[in-house]
Structure 1
Amino acid sequence: MVSEEGMDQFADRLSAAITAGIQAGELGEDTSGMPAGFVLVATYYDSTGDMRTALTVNNGARTHETLGLLALGTAVWEDEARAWVRGE
């Protein structure tokens, strides 16, 4: 089990990466913005080849914010999937 301190450090690194992406113009045209919140759901293989799932959110995230971001991500993903199926 990962410590809370370890998860906080991981969240800080993700926030820094989001900040760098904003400043580089990789996330939109406004390069002066700043991260507000995020939810990361990722899978990875551990050293034995077993699939693992990682879930983290920005430091200080509240449950309703996290659930809202997950719901938004699901809606966007489903819409993108429909467009892909239609060839749009």
Structure 2
Amino acid sequence: MLGLEDFVRFVEGTDEEEKVKDLKEAFKMYEMDGCGYITPKSLKRMLSRLGESKSVNECAVMIAQFDLNGDGVLNFDEFRVMML
């Protein structure tokens, strides 16, 4: 029989897995080029599709805020930190 603590851990784990799945889907929408990271150009393109007009430079500044390794792009782990 599943105890309350085990049940809570199970439910919380499921929620986390669902969040990661959703984040991966969102990440794919933003990276677009299949390169495994979000560039300022791909971010600009996606924001344009969402009705937000930003320059490539503005997108680079947005990325820099969460670019933990300083390479100028966002990998999935950096994107995850930004979104959570």
Query: Whose Rg is larger?
Result: 2
Flag the structure with more relative contact order, 1 or 2, with Cα contacts below 8 A and sequence separation at least 6.
2
Instruction: Work out whether the TM-score is over 0.5.
Output: no
| TM-score w.r.t. length of structure 1 | 0.31
More strand by share: 1
